[in-house]
Structure 1
Amino acid sequence: MNVKATLSPDDLARACAEAMWKEDDASRGLGMEIAEIKAGQATLTMTVKPEMANGHGIAHGGFIFTLADSAFAFACNSRNERVVAAQGSITFLRPGKLGDRLVATAREISRSGRSGIYDVRVTAGDVVIAEFRGHSRVIGGPWLPTGETGTK
């Protein structure tokens, strides 16, 4: 049975995210949460904790990048193919502050063959604090075994 044929694209994306989340110690360890998953899209959240603040007392850019990168990862792994980042860049627009609940929303811009491009917007409330662009590469292998439907 073909997994893609038995699930809607969004249900497949959620099943892949569930499988990936179980193996993602980094995102879980930083307190990230999955807010929404759809085919080619993902929204993750993270609250800025004291250990995430830099010497200026604001969110360290590395943590903001990591949140954006995780949202990117869940968006590009939503089609039951294992995908990794080939390149990622971020532009910081405003600082994240201690206690901010950051929201990273990733969306697929282009996917062709084994390559994809994804944009991620990171916000704190109504304020855009960063824009990330990631390039992905399919490395092969499914998240869900052949025949698994992801439903119970």
Structure 2
Amino acid sequence: MSDEATIETVSAQEMAERCARAMWDDDTASRGLGMTLEAVAPGYSRLSMTVRDDMANGHDNCHGGFIFTLADSAFAFACNYNNLVTVAQGASIDYLAPATRGDRLTAIGEERSRGGRTGVYDVRVENQDGRVVALFRGKSYQTRGRIVPGLEVKE
């Protein structure tokens, strides 16, 4: 059997979905925090999470680290849509409003630029009322390897 026979070609949307599914299956951190992967597309993702009691800080708000983690997960799914293993090379976040216990936070990640091995992604985190809680910017770096071996996008 030749290597060519083992290559499967799919649409860009199917590629994003297959990569997300493979990553999600191994993402015990995001699942353990109660995140839900709601949508993916090339350069786009949407994840949500409910703020639990054990996520509250000393001011009785959601600890910023949990908000950052939700945004970082959305960033990861937004930048790993093309089956090329891509990691964060840096990220920053601005907290704009507090999140409280019981809030349902949604992080929407969108690609802003991708060229060569690097990319820039913005993630907006908002609560169930649409209030923006945080803005996150991530910079990605494409490493070697595939998320799903033998899978390529149709040209």
Which TM bucket (shorter chain)?
Answer: over 0.9
How far apart, in 2, do the equivalents of 1:133 and 1:147 lie? 29
Does residue 11 of structure 2 align to residue 15 of structure 1?
no
Which aligned pairs between 1:113-128 and structure 2 lie closer than 5 A? Answer: 113-125=116-128, 126-128=130-132
Q: Percentage identity across aligned positions?
A: 52
- The whole-number CA distance in structure 1 between the counterparts of 2:58 and 2:151 is 51
1:58 Cα deviation after fit: 0.5
Identify the structure with the greater strand proportion.
Answer: 2
Give the TM-score normalised by the residue count of structure 1: 0.93
Deviation by residue 1:65-106 (Cα, 9 ceiling, x = unmatched): 000000000010111011110000000000011000100000
Pairs within 5 Å for 1:1-152: 1=4, 2-3=7-8, 6-125=9-128, 126-147=130-151
For normalisation by structure 2, the TM-score amounts to 0.91
Instruction: Give 1:148 shift.
Output: 8.0
Gaps of 5+ in 1: none
Gaps of at least 5 residues in structure 2 are none
Tell me, in whole angstroms, the C-alpha distance in 1 between the residues paired with 2:38 and 2:150.
27
Question: Structure 2 vs 1, CA of residues 112 and 148 (structure 1 numbering), >3 Å: closer, same or farther?
Answer: closer
Letter in structure 2 aligned against 1:11: E
RMSD: 1.4
Deviation at 1:145, TM superposition (A): 1.3
Q: Which has the larger radius of gyration?
A: 2
For 1:106 and 1:135, locate their aligned partners in 2 and report how far apart those are by CA, in whole Å: 12
Would you identify which runs of 4 or more consecutive aligned residues in structure 1 move more than 4 Å? none
CA drift of 1:56 comes to 0.6
Give the paired residue count.
147
